[in-house]
Amino acid sequence: MIDVLSYLFICVGIVFWYWGTSHLLGKRSVLFKLHSLSVADTLGSMLIVVGLLIKIPSRWPLLTLAIISLAIWNTMLGYVLAHCSNEEEENQTEFPPEAL
């Protein structure tokens, strides 16, 4: 039963990876595509690690650290991308082409 649950988490994680990648083919903005990709990738990776945690419980400290690191770093990457995108838009509105 544990093996089935572990493989279920891993398979659902892989489905999330492919689902996030499928949004890259849409006609939305680049930021929307990156956001959906990063959220799906984070959830997929975390589910895969949870599946490994169920399968190999003796490695719980390392796998728990991996889950926490995925949550923190992928969230911070999203904030950095959004902040950099905002600065670009602000810089473009501050200096109109006719001022140059």
* pTM, full prediction: 0.75
Higher pLDDT, 76 or 92: 76
Confidence (pLDDT) at 95: 55
Cβ atoms of 54 and 19 closer than 8 Å: no
Query: Per-residue pLDDT tens for 24-35?
Result: 888 888 778 888
Residue 11 reports pLDDT greater than 80: yes
- Residues shown for the chain: 100
Parse the chain into domains and list their residue ranges.
2-90
Three-class HEC string of 22-54? HHHHCCCCHHHHHHHHHHHHHHHHHHHHHHHHH
Higher pLDDT, 59 or 99: 59
